[in-house]
Structure 1
Amino acid sequence: MDRTLSPGELLDPRYEVVPFHGRVEELAELERWRAGDAAASVLLLHGQAGVGKTRLARQFATGSDVLVVDDADLVPRLDLRQPRVLLIARTTGWWWSSISQRAARLGYRTAHLAVEPCPDEHETSFATACAHFAYALGLPLPTAAAPDAPTLHDLHLAALIAVCGPPAHWLVPTDPVHGRLAEDVLAAALLDDRITPDRTPEALETLLRAAARLPHARRRAEELFTAHPELADNATTATLRILAEWPAPAAAVARRVFDDPRFAGDPLPAILTRTLARDADQRLERAELHGLLAARAALASLHEEALAAARQEVALYRELAEEDPAEHRAAVADALADLSLRYLAVGRPEDALAVSEEAVALCRVVAAADRDCTPQLARALDQLSRRHAALGHRDEALAALEEATDLYRALAEVHPKLFRVDLANLTRQRAGLTRGDQ
């Protein structure tokens, strides 16, 4: 550095003013991960803000070929090219589940390690921080005792206060700051209700990161986005992932997010849909939202979560069908068809087959009562044929496909524009099965 650091900058772990110490068990666990037998591996290092994740990762990875991605939950699309990738984030949740499922398909082994506070090390950490802050600023070494602080950042902040005095004259920086300190500055400012937060993408992201930790900042963030949902057009993915967990602003920005191509394949639309489903009052609305949730989760590689949503969709429609069979049986059948796809995506073909068989049985009942539902039966038979074929049940696959073809042939005679393409596709599929192509 060619200048003296400001008191606020002394807290930034990138400058390493206070030397790293402790965390022996975590370092050993990280070393075991790096030396593991997996050809490629991703590890998530997670813990609350200020607990010391970044310091730990920097100490471990310096001089190695480990790729470190800090604030990984803020990165829209992670690039996995190194054999060892260490992610740092405050939370796990669906963003991590999406990454871990994608990484597994690319041959990566995935794991996570929680970083917890170390109160046994706080006395040493406080004394060390006081000594180094006092030296850096040319001030006397204080004699204060270590406070009861929840995280390493809070402990270092207390040490800086012990050296410099109350933060009123030094916490607000003259130069831009980032991360935890920027959130603290913003949160302190927002205690004054006359102050309106900046609306740039970076400022909104800082506001939401602070809001995830501090109740008064959350209230301001919720009020801001609920009153001005158009801010979603200017917000980052990281900002909206936090906001998506809160019902009122989630409902306000949902349509803008769903229509925004920036979020295609991201967990954000699924997270928003999950919040809307939890907050829905009507059972039919919850069922419909769980169907959408299954589809959006699958697009974000959240296949286990998509399966859970599809199962909930089926359960809700079953309840509705018990009360009004004529109105909701067809919806149960459609939900079962969706559930079959979700079972396939997680490698459970036998379960997919069982669900498809149930869907066909229900579609027969529905089509017998209403001939307009015959196309639904034909689609269900087509799906059943594919499930049998995937398991090597050639005769059963052919039988289901022939019945579906007969139904589509009859439909195409009456409505050729609507069904002749379906008939042609099934005819080709049947020829392939007959030759043994599938």
Structure 2
Amino acid sequence: MGAEQHRPRPQQALRRPGRQRHHPRRHRRPGSVNEPLFQQTVQAEAGFAYGVIGADLHVFQDAGPVYTLLERAGPPAADAAWLLEQPSRLLDARYEVVAFGGREAELADLTSWLEGPQLAARWVHGPGGQGKTRLVSAFADLAAERGWKVVTAVHRAVPSPGSQDLLPGAAPGLLLIVDYADRWPLSHLSWLFANALLHAPRTARVLLVARSVRSWPALRAVLTEHGARTGDLPLGPLPRTAIDRERVFAAARDCFCERYGLAVPDEVAPPRLDGPGFELVLTLHMAALVAVDARARGVSPPGDPSEFSAYLLDRERRHWTELHGNQAMSTPPQVMARTVFTAVLTGAQSYEAATGVLGGLGLPGHPHELIDDHAVCYPPAEPDRVLEPLYPDRLAEDLLALALPGHAASGGADPWTPGATAGLLAHDGDPPAYAGRAITFLASSATRWPHVGKSLADALSADPALALAGGGAALTALAEVPGLDPAVLDAVERLFPERRNIDLDAGIAAVTERVVAHRLATGVDPAMRAELHATLARRLLVVDRTQDAVTHEERAVEGYRALVEEDPARFTGPLAINLNNLANLLLGTDRNEEAMSAVEEAVDLLRGLDDPFNLAMALGNRAILAFQLDRNDEAIESAQEAVQNHRLAVAADPDDLDLQGGLAMALGNLAYLRMTLKRGEEQTIEASQEAVTLSRWLAEADPDAFGHRVAAMLGTHAAQLFTVGRHDDGVRAAIEAVALARETVVRHPIRSFQSALARNVVSLMGMYQRLERWEEALAIGQEHLVAVRDFGGPLLTNVLAGMTTTLTALGRQEEALPYARETVERLRATVTEADPSDPNAEAAARLELAQMLNQFVTLLVALRRRKEAVAAAGERVALYERLVQDVGVLRAVIDLHLAREQLASVQGKRRRAAAEAREAARLQEQIDNMFPNLFANLLGLGQDEPRRRAMDLRTKVGLVAAPALGAVAFVLSLTAGRGSLEATLSGVAVAVLFWLARLRPRG
């Protein structure tokens, strides 16, 4: 980490998509909401083909599927004799030799998790050997018994021939299991979460299984964007006492004795289980297996956990020796041991790749013979794959440790292995594809076997880039190795990209934490200390560890503030930059007043420096914060000044595309604020048009970095044109924005770009509806509904509601009904999932559902579905009754009367319906007369800003409770600068108004 001061992270943009370098192709099922139609053509020119029905495929053009979806099958069949040939097979969780038990509380927790919101995800994590796989398997069996569709996602797997029918049929829900989730790149998991499999109108659960929890926060943020309820389930030590451990040992021993044919399991005594090393379930299973196997062979078993792996690996070697002695395979045991060692590091490979790997190691015998003999001992789990590694993973990690020199355990080390490890990781061009697995397994082994850290350090000292090639999982594993040479981590850290990388971010943050902690502990000067805290804050932020980032950014600010007192010329700039970054972080934690204080100090400091770029960034943040705090004049002024300073920065260095990009973003933000606050139509359109023009130029100069921005800027510009009445221009711009966003998604189908497409589709569809161009609205909705489904969330709900409105307007009520029904179901889920600690969010969710139910009831009545209509109308009344109870303002009371009118009409109670309509009309007249006159008299509405706020309150009052004290504070904020007596009297008057407005309905 050098001494160069980094630029701050970009200011918060009102619309800011991300980047992605991968270029997958996408194949999906066609279909419609009304009547799903699944049609698929799978054609293979070589090898075999694979398809899915009822889901999406994500495929790299040059690397095959990103992941494979498979309907879950039971454990593979295996007879006892074959299992006993190699005791490691008895420990392989795939064969479920040991009956599940001991995790009843966790299983009950997962079972209850099946109930609830439409989409939810759970991260199950714990160290290797803690029983994650068996717990998940037992849970999957339970879900299947309840009729659920259970699907597994396997990363980068080569699929079996044929296709997978993933249609749920009559299943009550779908359970998707993702093993080794912490080893998936985040971008690949993002594609998985966008799969149509998870976004159909049914209950879906995603269970992610991992060792580490480090990548979970960033992944949780992605899931939350998809509307998923998230949570994690840590698996702590199961055998907490000696008695518990004896029970786990006895259960495993009995299962193993049955396989071995030992009639009296009680005669197989356990070792002492109260010592260290018996905290893991797998260790107790290994102890039981070693004891049973030793009893069957008539030898004394070892009693120390460190010796169990050596015993079991000796049994593997005995099997290889017997096969070689019986001429069942030609490979000698020592060569087979080296082949197994290699397979642990490389993982399963294609036949061609395995041939190259083994040939490069110079092992005796032809690679084809080695591969064939290895497959006899370790049959491949996937077609067209060989070199299946040893399982379970923890035993494989111990094999690496025992084979590498430097330990005192029994089980001979092989002097060949260090050179082989170096040879496997050596490369002339790009690192080998298995580099990530090799680094991850070596790091995992080194957490328990310190001597493995030397081989790991040697490999990374020779080529630190191997750690980055291994992805976020390898970096995370590396950060958790105790005692690893700090110089190795320093060398890796120096290679980190300046810009964020979605697939490396979690690992980068983990390594940075370790590096920063070491440097701070060893002592650095105050300037470096402040910079270290600032760097760590930036890297923690991108993995959604906001609170930790705030802590380190506050320390950075504190450090730079002290340094400014000693050398203001050198450190005023860094202090200002980090104050601006702190403001960004505090804004993300809803500490807006503190954020504003920090950013205003940053602006004041930067005004005294010749640094227009960073001043522009701080001003842009101040504009957003002022807008959040309803200080709208300041928001406009700051946004204008940000644009001016961005122009100065560009003028000083016109070849810097990032500076040009900052100007385009600032122009877009200024245009957005002007449009939202209705501050000058002409200036709004000028700023927006310039942002679009500049974005087009940037896209031509660097399509990869800036190409995606054109659609976003153009979409905003289209909305602004339409808002000011230039409808034809707005529609033309919106059509182009949709087309450009669609092209971007085809090239880079990632979450942020899908979001931009969905927003532009919703905007264009809304324009067509406003202009009553119903056929065009329907066409754009039908064309993009599948893409918007991938994004989900409120945008999908808006499209579904728009389809309902459009088809109804076209007189196609039967076709509209399924869209209306799905919209209502999604809005019901929104109400269920609303945060109970945020009453405003709950009220808004109920109001949106109640409004959609109005349209739904009307549609049901038109289709003569009276029973359903009565039920839906009753639900609408109940929602408004709850709103009146919780919010209690006049607008909710009026809507309740209107809902009761609708219910009475559907029930045929005309007199009651007329009475409710009259009462609603009376109260509406009251609110129409009360609000503008009272506010005008109280506040002397001669200024635009108080007038706008007073009139906007008429709509806000329908959603948000405004108690008397809140009203007083509101008016005091409006009357800042006026006499205190006048402001207080105005506040009291408004408080009285709200007291009067909290009416209760009659009857």
With the shorter chain as reference, the TM-score category is: 0.7 to 0.9
Aligned mates of 1:229, 1:164 — CA distance in 2: 43
- Tell me the equivalent position of 2:515: 276
Which stretch has the larger CA shift, 310-319 or 250-259? 250-259
**Match of 1:385, SS?**
helix
Letter in 2 for 1:208: A
Unaligned runs of 5+ in 1: none
Matched, 1:74 2:188: no
Q: 1:188 aligns with which of 382, 385, 402?
A: 402
TM-aligned CA deviation for residue 302 of structure 1: 4.1
In 2, are the aligned partners of 1:232 and 1:257 still within 8 Å (CA)? no
**Match of 2:233, SS?**
strand
Matched, 1:32 2:112: yes
Closer, same or farther: CA 98–401 of 1 in aligned 2, 3 Å: closer
Q: 1:156 aligns with which of 285, 296, 305?
A: 285
- Tell me the equivalent position of 1:13: 93
In 1, are the aligned partners of 2:397 and 2:442 still within 8 Å (CA)? yes
Q: 2:625 aligns with which of 359, 371, 387?
A: 387
TM-aligned CA deviation for residue 84 of structure 1: 1.3
Letter in 1 for 2:441: T
Aligned mates of 1:322, 1:378 — CA distance in 2: 25
TM-aligned CA deviation for residue 109 of structure 1: 2.0
- Tell me the equivalent position of 1:51: 130
Q: 2:446 aligns with which of 190, 204, 211?
A: 211
Q: 1:353 aligns with which of 592, 596, 599?
A: 596
Q: 2:635 aligns with which of 381, 387, 397?
A: 397
TM-aligned CA deviation for residue 340 of structure 1: 1.8
Which string of whole-angstrom CA distances, capped at 9 and with x for unpartnered residues, describes residues 216-235 of structure 1? 33343234323442433653
Normalised by the size of structure 1, how large is the TM-score? 0.84
- Tell me the equivalent position of 2:210: 89
Aligned mates of 1:412, 1:225 — CA distance in 2: 41
Matched, 1:22 2:102: yes
- Tell me the equivalent position of 2:605: 362
Q: 1:106 aligns with which of 226, 230, 242?
A: 226
Aligned mates of 1:408, 1:230 — CA distance in 2: 36
Matched, 1:128 2:257: no
Aligned mates of 1:143, 1:340 — CA distance in 2: 65
Aligned mates of 1:48, 1:163 — CA distance in 2: 25
Which string of whole-angstrom CA distances, capped at 9 and with x for unpartnered residues, describes residues 79-111 of structure 1? 335431222222323x11211222223222222
- Tell me the equivalent position of 2:834: none
Closer, same or farther: CA 212–96 of 1 in aligned 2, 3 Å: farther
Closer, same or farther: CA 268–383 of 1 in aligned 2, 3 Å: same
Give the aligned CA root-mean-square deviation in angstroms: 3.5
TM-aligned CA deviation for residue 379 of structure 1: 4.6
Aligned mates of 2:545, 2:623 — CA distance in 1: 26
**Match of 2:505, SS?**
coil
In 1, are the aligned partners of 2:472 and 2:508 still within 8 Å (CA)? no
Aligned mates of 1:219, 1:412 — CA distance in 2: 49
- Tell me the equivalent position of 1:115: 235
Matched, 1:143 2:268: yes
Letter in 1 for 2:127: Q
In 2, are the aligned partners of 1:147 and 1:155 still within 8 Å (CA)? no
TM-aligned CA deviation for residue 335 of structure 1: 0.9
Q: How many residues align?
A: 430
Aligned mates of 1:53, 1:414 — CA distance in 2: 58
Q: 2:314 aligns with which of 169, 190, 199?
A: 169
TM-aligned CA deviation for residue 399 of structure 1: 3.9
Aligned mates of 1:262, 1:327 — CA distance in 2: 31
- Tell me the equivalent position of 1:332: 575
In 2, are the aligned partners of 1:412 and 1:418 still within 8 Å (CA)? no
In 1, are the aligned partners of 2:120 and 2:229 still within 8 Å (CA)? yes
Q: 1:243 aligns with which of 478, 484, 491?
A: 478
Aligned mates of 1:69, 1:404 — CA distance in 2: 45
In 2, are the aligned partners of 1:126 and 1:146 still within 8 Å (CA)? no
TM-aligned CA deviation for residue 403 of structure 1: 5.5
Aligned mates of 1:126, 1:413 — CA distance in 2: 70
Closer, same or farther: CA 12–426 of 1 in aligned 2, 3 Å: closer
TM-aligned CA deviation for residue 261 of structure 1: 9.2
- Tell me the equivalent position of 1:287: 530
Which stretch has the larger CA shift, 109-118 or 132-141? 132-141
In 1, are the aligned partners of 2:643 and 2:667 still within 8 Å (CA)? yes
TM-aligned CA deviation for residue 143 of structure 1: 2.2
Closer, same or farther: CA 358–2 of 1 in aligned 2, 3 Å: same
Aligned mates of 1:407, 1:40 — CA distance in 2: 45
- Tell me the equivalent position of 2:770: none
Letter in 1 for 2:229: R
Closer, same or farther: CA 298–425 of 1 in aligned 2, 3 Å: closer
Letter in 1 for 2:184: V
Letter in 2 for 1:23: R
TM-aligned CA deviation for residue 354 of structure 1: 2.2
Aligned mates of 1:376, 1:50 — CA distance in 2: 50
**Match of 1:102, SS?**
helix
Q: 1:317 aligns with which of 560, 583, 596?
A: 560
**Match of 1:111, SS?**
strand
Closer, same or farther: CA 311–102 of 1 in aligned 2, 3 Å: farther
In 2, are the aligned partners of 1:225 and 1:249 still within 8 Å (CA)? yes
Aligned mates of 1:213, 1:220 — CA distance in 2: 14
Which string of whole-angstrom CA distances, capped at 9 and with x for unpartnered residues, describes residues 279-305 of structure 1? 333332343344343444444444444
Which string of whole-angstrom CA distances, capped at 9 and with x for unpartnered residues, describes residues 93-152 of structure 1? 3x1121122222322222222222224433232223223223323456452135412221
Aligned mates of 1:260, 1:355 — CA distance in 2: 24
Quick check: which has more Rg, 1 or 2?
Answer: 2
TM-aligned CA deviation for residue 415 of structure 1: 5.8
**Match of 1:123, SS?**
helix
Percent of paired sites with the same residue = 34
In 1, are the aligned partners of 2:546 and 2:589 still within 8 Å (CA)? yes
Which stretch has the larger CA shift, 104-113 or 5-14? 104-113
Normalised by the size of structure 2, how large is the TM-score? 0.39
Letter in 1 for 2:601: E
Aligned mates of 1:378, 1:266 — CA distance in 2: 27
Aligned mates of 1:301, 1:348 — CA distance in 2: 16
Closer, same or farther: CA 161–310 of 1 in aligned 2, 3 Å: same
In 1, are the aligned partners of 2:468 and 2:475 still within 8 Å (CA)? no
